[in-house]
Structure 1
Amino acid sequence: MERPSLALTHAGHFHADDVFSAALLLEVWPGLEIRRAYEVPEGFEGLAFDVGGGAFDHHGPERKLRENGMPYAAFGLLWKELGEQLVGAEQAKWLDEHFIQPLDRDDNTGCGDSLADAIGGFNPVWDSDADADACFWRAEAFAAQVLKNRLEGARAVNRAKALVEKALARMKDQVVVLPRFAPWKNTLKSSDAELVVYPSQRGGFSAQGVPIPDDPKHRLKCRFPESWAGLRAPQLERVSGIRGLRFCHASGFLVSANTLESALAACRAARAEAQEKQRAGETGA
């Protein structure tokens, strides 16, 4: 999609849909001139959104629907066209589902949404002499920061995925060691990894069990022994036989350790116990 010479949306009372649409266009094309008017001028050759019945309007008789049946509003239509170039296909889809669709739903149904309500609060009250356009641009500045935060979060997920996939390629005995903490669950859940180790912000290292994907009971592929649950050093060191273990969460999903070697030893012990239980179950012992 080429940069338009001019963009236009409706004047008067504004909503999250047109405000976020403006913020998105300015994120893609900084400095783009966006005007507000009650009607699209005859012969207009720019990009009209949320008005005028064109490609980025959703008020006509033929509703534009997503595959899940959710109708598009202007923001969703623009995101469908522009989102992938900002954050890639996977995160563009995720943001549509978790960020944009709730706003589109609110604009199409009036069902209510807290973020849409916050944007709507920038409108002049009924007996105010405030300039509606000035209020619109204050709302756009707010929306632009929200959008930037969402985009940066999505890009961070992409960076994390690259880091975790690189560590996954070096996995040993179903344990992945990350060089630094990064969001790892989405990448490792669908892999063969059972445990993950990473440097802790508190110093030392943390080790966690990897969740089983799409498990309604939220179980782990491997958890730490029940005899460790809730223990702290030095008792945890005595029970586990591993020096340098500091803490095991009461639910057994996480341990903290002073060193990488201690964290890896905890993972080996967890896997050994899990394998022993599996063998016992198979033999009926």
Structure 2
Amino acid sequence: MPYADPETCLQLIGTHNGTFHCDEALAVYLLRLTNTYADADLKRSRDPVVLDTCTIVVDVGGVYDESRQRFDHHQRGFTEVFGHGFNTKLSSAGLVYKHFGREIIARSLKTTLDDQRIGILWLKLYKEFIEAIDAIDNGISQYPTDVQPRYRLRTDVSARVGFLNPAWNESVDSQTVDSQFLKASRLVGGEFTDRLEYYANAWLPARDIVSGALKNRTQVEPDGKIILFETFAPWKEHLFELERELHVATPEQPIYVIYPDETGGQWRVQAVPVSPESFESRKALPEAWRGLRDEELSKVSGIDGGVFVHASGFIGGNKTKGGALALAKLALTIPK
């Protein structure tokens, strides 16, 4: 891609030349999702004179100053973090995302900055996508331990961007490296936009379903111990986050979740785990039901339409919504 003449180009993004990394590849892509830099050209150089001709500079220059549109993180004394509970030191990707992320999300969704979805998605994408790139670029281990890993993980997006750099015995002329940088930027940028599309169009609607069901749970069972979903949606992550946000006290937390299975032919009753990743439930289905199926389950529980209860008691099934709801209500009355 030819570089624009700094004297004629309205906007020019600058970053360093030579070996590239995932953070500045993403930072450049993100900037081109903003209104200001959508049509900006790119200059890769470490020459301060050249960088001074750029409208915005990322990952080089030794300066972090939003007012000057300078976003480097390598300088001594740099300690900027994303905040909002995140304490990983930012790379150029995190810096650009922190300052431009909400605008990028709003433009991508074709909405305004006051849309309540923007803040939720801004934090979610940092947690699930950007933070790891920040940490890897800054050399921050995922776990505070010196235990030797059992295998190498080199399929993360930072590693895949790294592999796009020319090998030691390949051409390293600027045209070749710049071309590979643009390929890297499209790679990591494409993954960012795919994640944004998923979180906006699938993850966030599921959150709305869980939020509504959580708030209306006393209409299902007076003590609010049962949540009913009329449609299947991923619920675990959202439930725990919403419980924290709504300050649901432990005695008021739901115990069971009722929902149609993914085929829509049967209904499930699932015990809420003690944490999103835990195999331990707040209250498993009764021991006497565990491992039973069909007529045997119906006979022991006294509820028609039994399908199964897992041997661990974390989930069970019934042919109807009413049957699943009856199982959950009965289970609440039976001691652990």
Fold match (TM-score > 0.5): yes
| Selected match of 1:168 from 211, 214, 226 | 214
Q: TM-score, normalised by structure 1?
A: 0.83
Output the CA distance in 2 between the equivalents of 1:196 and 1:28: 41
SS at the partner of 1:36? strand
Corresponding residue number in structure 2 for 1:26: 32
Write out per-residue CA displacement over residues 249-284 of structure 1, whole angstroms, 9 at most, x where no aligned residue: 11111112211111111111111114xx5xxxxxxx
The gaps in structure 2 that reach 5 residues or longer are: 1-9, 65-70, 106-116, 142-152
Shift of 1:161: 1.6
In 1, the alpha carbon distance for the partners of 2:51 and 2:329 equals 72
TM-score normalised by L of structure 2: 0.72
Instruction: Give the aligned partner of residue 196 of structure 2.
Output: 151
Contact persistence 2:231–2:260 (CA under 8 A): yes
Give the Cα–Cα distance (whole angstroms) in 1 for the partners of residues 303 and 140 of structure 2. 59
Kindly report which structure 2 residues correspond to 1:4-43, keeping only aligned pairs within 5 A, or say none: 5-29=11-35, 31-38=38-45, 39-40=47-48, 41=50, 43=52
- Alignment size in residue pairs: 271
Aligned to 1:79: 97
Helix, strand or coil at the partner of 1:197: strand
> Contact 2:157–2:188 (CA<8 Å) still a contact in 1?
no
Q: Is the 8 A contact 1:9 1:51 kept in 2?
A: yes
Measured after TM superposition, the shift of residue 167 of structure 1 is 1.8
Cα distance in structure 2, aligned partners of 1:110 and 1:176: 40
Matched, 1:177 2:195: no
Deviation at 1:15, TM superposition (A): 0.6
SS at match of 1:176: strand
Q: Superposed, which structure 2 residues align to 1:1-285 within 5 Å?
A: 5-29=11-35, 31-38=38-45, 39-40=47-48, 41=50, 43-44=52-53, 46-55=55-64, 56-66=71-81, 70-85=88-103, 86=105, 88-109=118-139, 114-129=156-171, 131-155=176-200, 156-171=202-217, 172-173=220-221, 174-189=225-240, 190=243, 191=248, 192-202=253-263, 203-213=265-275, 219-274=280-335
How far has the Cα of 1:110 moved from its partner?
A: 8.0
Q: How far apart, in 2, do the equivalents of 1:15 and 1:72 lie?
A: 14
Deviations 1:198-252 (A, max 9, x none): 12113211121122358x9753233211111122212222221211121111111
Give, in whole Å, the separation in 1 of the partners of 2:260 and 2:140.
46
- Please tell me whether the aligned partners of residues 247 and 255 of structure 1 are also in contact (alpha carbons under 8 angstroms): yes
Q: 1:110 to 1:236 in 2, by over 3 A?
A: closer
Q: Cα gap change, 1:196/1:8 in structure 2, threshold over 3 Å: closer, same or farther?
A: same
Aligned mates of 1:242, 1:99 — CA distance in 2: 46
Equivalent position SS for 1:109 = coil
Once the two structures are TM-superposed, the CA of residue 42 in structure 1 deviates from its matched residue by 6.0
Distance (Å, rounded) in 1 between the aligned partners of 2:140 and 2:169:
23
Q: Which runs of 4+ in 1 moved over 6 A?
A: 110-113
Conserved in 2, the CA contact under 8 Å of 1:23 and 1:147?
Answer: no
Residues 188, 210 of structure 1: 8 Å contact kept: no
From the superposition, tell whether residues 138 and 211 of structure 1 become closer, same or farther in structure 2 (CA, over 3 Å).
same
Instruction: In structure 1, list runs of 5 or more residues that go unmatched.
Output: 278-285
Q: Matched residues in 2 for 1:205 and 1:193: separation?
A: 18
Counterparts in 2 of 1:163 and 1:69: CA distance versus 1, 3 Å: closer
Query: 1:209 corresponds to which letter in structure 2?
Result: A
Structure-1 residue corresponding to 2:3: none
